[in-house]
């Protein structure tokens, strides 16, 4: 097996274990609350608390992975996780549950390790799919959501928690022995990496998008077990099974989202994602019956799963040199997106007696994200057009329909000698050589007005007075209504020919 493939398997398995541990409290809360007296607000707090450290730590873990490698960071993380798991297994108060739950967040923070390490082993055109496969490691939350209640029914919730100590020891040994000791390291200071990205609006837009997609995934993962038991009177095992179904769908669609991001424009995929989340949140806000509620939740699972994979295709595309810190920031925002919704939903339910406002908020945030994705899509198109203009070797000049120069490219200056500030606002007459009669220009404009373009050889004058021949093409650019909007002239110096 190639090194990249082996590391993909090892690191994905590590993420599975990390996520299994991360959601112990939410999956076992119906059992814990029967043993330790907790109010509904306290239960929401305890289940949400692992998300805090699981979000914040993603930033340094992404940076440290670039600096020290995945092997060391995974090993240290899993050794550290032994402590909170042991603390939770012996908890008898909300204080101990919160203390253990906070440290439990390390299990979610390890997500940053693989998305930073694994792209080093693969070409860019596979980054979306590879990160999607790795991200599918969040199937670990489904394993815990389904298996933990079943085991707790037989052996009790404390014994169930202790079983996770065995899994952590095994994965720690595997990472220590089989992790890549020669992984490529990036020795750039944290300050330099942050300085290089924090002003880039794409960082914060991607963070917002992941805040919605991964945040909704985490929120529903920790919110569903208790909600289904209390709101629909389902059994604890049935609620765990349904939650596992939600997680499984979202997880297996994550590689699909990464693959779609590799094959198609990622922004178009995200348009469908946020349209789906908008509709699902709207549907759930009506507090429907269980079958319709299931449809809404499945809509969230499908949209969030595809969105999670697609977004992490975009991160290495735009931030290849600062992948560690950016992966950490984006992943942290996604984790925080899962912390607030359960608390907000519980608070709103206590105030109003229903969850409509909370679900409608999800719909509105998704709609706002959809609008921003559309804006980014067209901004990217404009930037591409601008890059073509700036990088082409031929001189280019853009004028309005009155012939006033609006934009020139660097090659224009190279050929004519006129800088951009000297040409913009003037007309192309500054280049006239005096070698052509008025009939030449009249014929040119008649051709442009009738056919929309003109092409031919013309003599022009450079800034230094030198007269030179050039091959000139003038094209008319029209708006969506078919009306002439601007003229684009492309030319090359024929002196050497």
Fold observed for domain 3-262+286-351: Growth Hormone; Chain: A; (1.20.1250)
pLDDT band at 364 (very low <50, low <70, confident <90, very high): confident
Most confident option among 122-126, 220-224, 345-349, 438-442: 438-442
For residues 300-310, average pLDDT: 90
For residues 248-268, average pLDDT: 85
Superfamily of domain 394-493: PAS domain (3.30.450.20)
Q: Is the pTM of this model over 0.85?
A: no
Task: Average the pLDDT over each of 69-73, 181-185, 275-279 and give the range with the smallest value.
Answer: 181-185
318 has a pLDDT exceeding 90? no
15 has a pLDDT exceeding 90? yes
**Burial group, residue 123, by CB count within 10 angstroms (0-12, 13-18, 19+):** exposed
What pLDDT score does 211 carry? Answer: 86
Tell me what the pLDDT averaged over the chain comes to.
Answer: 83
151 has a pLDDT exceeding 60? yes
Q: Which residue has the higher pLDDT, 68 or 351?
A: 68
166 has a pLDDT exceeding 90? yes
What pLDDT score does 248 carry? Answer: 85
Dig out the tokens for 209 from the structure: 């998008």
74 has a pLDDT exceeding 60? yes
pLDDT in tens, 387-409: 656 667 788 888 988 889 988 88
For residues 459-486, average pLDDT: 85
pLDDT in tens, 118-147: 888 888 778 778 888 888 888 888 788 888
60 has a pLDDT exceeding 70? yes
pLDDT in tens, 203-227: 888 888 888 888 888 778 777 777 7
Most confident option among 54-58, 313-317, 359-363, 431-435: 431-435
pLDDT in tens, 20-32: 998 888 888 888 8
What pLDDT score does 16 carry? Answer: 93
Give me the residue spans of the domains in the chain. 3-262+286-351, 394-493
* CA 415 to chain CA mean position, Å: 43
R_g over Cα of the chain = 29
What pLDDT score does 83 carry? Answer: 94
The proportion of the chain whose per-residue pLDDT surpasses 70, expressed as a percent, equals: 90
What pLDDT score does 264 carry? Answer: 83
291 has a pLDDT exceeding 60? yes
- In angstroms, the CA 243 to CA 141 distance is 9
């Amino acid at each position: 097996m190639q090194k990249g493939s082996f590391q993909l398997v090892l690191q994905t398995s590590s993420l599975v274990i990390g996520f299994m541990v991360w959601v112990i409290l939410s999956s076992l809360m119906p059992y814990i609350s029967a043993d330790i007296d907790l109010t509904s607000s306290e239960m929401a707090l305890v289940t949400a608390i692992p998300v805090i450290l699981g979000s914040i730590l993603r930033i340094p873990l992404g940076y440290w992975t670039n600096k020290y490698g995945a092997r060391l960071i995974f090993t240290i993380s899993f050794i550290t996780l032994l402590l909170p798991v042991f603390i939770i297994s012996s908890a008898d108060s909300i204080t101990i549950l919160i203390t253990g739950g906070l440290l439990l967040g390390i299990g979610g923070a390890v997500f940053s390790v693989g998305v930073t390490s694994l792209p080093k082993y693969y070409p860019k055109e596979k980054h979306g799919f590879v990160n999607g496969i790795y991200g599918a490691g969040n199937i670990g939350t489904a394993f815990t959501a389904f298996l933990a209640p079943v085991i707790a029914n037989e052996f009790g919730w404390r014994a169930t928690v202790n079983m996770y100590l065995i899994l952590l020891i095994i994965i720690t040994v595997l990472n220590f022995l089989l992790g890549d000791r020669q992984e490529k390291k990036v020795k750039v200071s944290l300050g330099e990496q942050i300085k290089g990205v924090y002003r880039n609006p794409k960082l914060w837009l991607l963070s917002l998008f992941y805040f919605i997609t991964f945040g909704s995934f985490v929120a529903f993962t920790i919110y569903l077990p208790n909600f289904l038991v209390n709101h629909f009177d389902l059994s604890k095992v049935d609620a765990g099974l349904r939650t596992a179904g939600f997680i499984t769908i979202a997880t297996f669609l994550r590689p699909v989202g990464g693959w779609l991001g590799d094959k198609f424009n990622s922004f178009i995929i995200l348009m469908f994602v946020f349209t789906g989340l908008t509709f699902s949140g709207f549907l759930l806000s009506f507090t429907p019956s269980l079958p319709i509620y299931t449809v809404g939740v499945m809509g969230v699972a499908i949209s969030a799963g595809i969105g999670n994979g697609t977004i992490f295709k975009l991160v290495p595309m735009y931030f290849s040199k600062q992948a560690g810190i950016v992966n950490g920031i984006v992943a942290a925002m996604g984790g925080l997106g899962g912390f607030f919704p359960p608390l907000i939903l519980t608070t709103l339910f206590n105030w109003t007696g229903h969850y409509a406002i909370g679900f409608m908020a999800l719909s509105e945030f998704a709609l706002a994200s959809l609008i921003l994705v559309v804006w980014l899509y067209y901004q990217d198109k404009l930037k591409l057009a601008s890059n073509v203009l700036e990088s082409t070797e031929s001189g280019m000049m853009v004028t309005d329909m009155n012939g006033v120069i609006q934009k020139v490219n660097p090659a224009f200056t190279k050929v004519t000698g006129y800088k951009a500030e000297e040409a913009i606002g003037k007309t192309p007459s500054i280049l006239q050589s005096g070698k052509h009669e008025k009939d030449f220009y009249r014929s040119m404009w008649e051709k442009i007005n009738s056919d929309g373009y003109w092409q031919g050889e013309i003599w022009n004058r450079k800034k230094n007075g030198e007269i030179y021949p050039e091959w000139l093409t003038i094209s008319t650019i029209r708006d969506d209504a078919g009306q002439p909007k601007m003229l684009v002239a492309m030319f090359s110096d024929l002196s050497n020919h």
